[in-house]
Structure 1
Amino acid sequence: MGRSLRWAALVLAVVGALYCAWHWSAWRYRAGMAAGFGARIACSCRYIEGRDLKSCKADFRGLEGMWMVRLSDDGDERAVHASVPLLAARKASYRPGFGCMSDAF
């Protein structure tokens, strides 16, 4: 019984790894889009509207996949960093006269 259980676990691990490998590029693309959107919207919320970052995160409620986006504020640069762990990170900075601009990576 123990040997067949090990084989089943090995097969499940291989299938899981193949599934992740197959979908990885699509996940990275969507994570990049979500992080970029989150950074830009949170930057506008923070530096144009003057709200705190916690209330800005509430603006994403109901948007698919945005629950994974983590936000952090850089007050010295007047920028917001957004990331989806292990997949993508983006930054948007406030520039007077232009508003919040996504920084190129």
Structure 2
Amino acid sequence: MAKTAGAKRSSLSRTILIAVLLVIVGLAALAWFNRGPIQGYTTAATTYSARVACSCRFVAGRDLEDCAKDKLAGMEMVSLSENPEAQSVTASIPFVNTAIATN
């Protein structure tokens, strides 16, 4: 009887693994087919964020953390970093897009 329970668990584990893999493949295919719009939105988000944060930081003289509050709704994934020597701000969405604005 113990072998039957073990076989059922193994079958269930295999089924769950296959379902998870199918979901991952499905999401990857969805991202691939929508890569044009995704690239457009991420380019707009990073470029806008870099420009606004650079002006905020080096023209208005505010801290970068304070400037990050000026991001629009939906831009939560955009991260900001600064280079004080070059007076530039880099906005990036990890593994997708990066933009640099210079004062």
Please tell me the TM-score bracket, short chain as reference: 0.7 to 0.9
Question: Hey, what's the Cα distance between the residues in 1 that align with 2:16 and 2:84?
Answer: 53
Q: Mind listing any 5+ residue stretches in structure 2 that lack a counterpart? A: 1-7
Question: Hey, what's the Cα distance between the residues in 1 that align with 2:28 and 2:101?
Answer: 33
Q: SS at the partner of 1:81?
A: strand
How much has 1:26 moved relative to structure 2?
A: 1.5
Question: What residue number does 1:69 align with?
Answer: 78
The answer to which of 63-72 and 40-49 deviates more is 63-72
Question: Hey, what's the Cα distance between the residues in 2 that align with 1:64 and 1:53?
Answer: 18
Task: Note if 1:90 corresponds to 2:91.
Answer: no
Question: Hey, what's the Cα distance between the residues in 1 that align with 2:75 and 2:24?
Answer: 28
Question: What residue number does 1:57 align with?
Answer: 68
After superposition, residues 1-105 of structure 1 pair within 5 angstroms as 2=11, 3-60=14-71, 63-94=72-103
Question: Hey, what's the Cα distance between the residues in 1 that align with 2:18 and 2:76?
Answer: 36
Whose Rg is larger? 2
The answer to which of 51-60 and 63-72 deviates more is 63-72
How much has 1:34 moved relative to structure 2?
A: 0.4
**Which structure 1 residue ranges, 4+ long, deviate > 6 Å from structure 2?**
none
Q: Report percent identity of matched pairs.
A: 34
Residues 18 and 78 from structure 1, CA distance in 2 versus in 1: closer, same or farther, beyond 3 angstroms? same
Question: Hey, what's the Cα distance between the residues in 1 that align with 2:76 and 2:16?
Answer: 36
Question: Hey, what's the Cα distance between the residues in 2 that align with 1:9 and 1:16?
Answer: 11
How much has 1:59 moved relative to structure 2?
A: 1.0
Residues 66 and 9 from structure 1, CA distance in 2 versus in 1: closer, same or farther, beyond 3 angstroms? closer
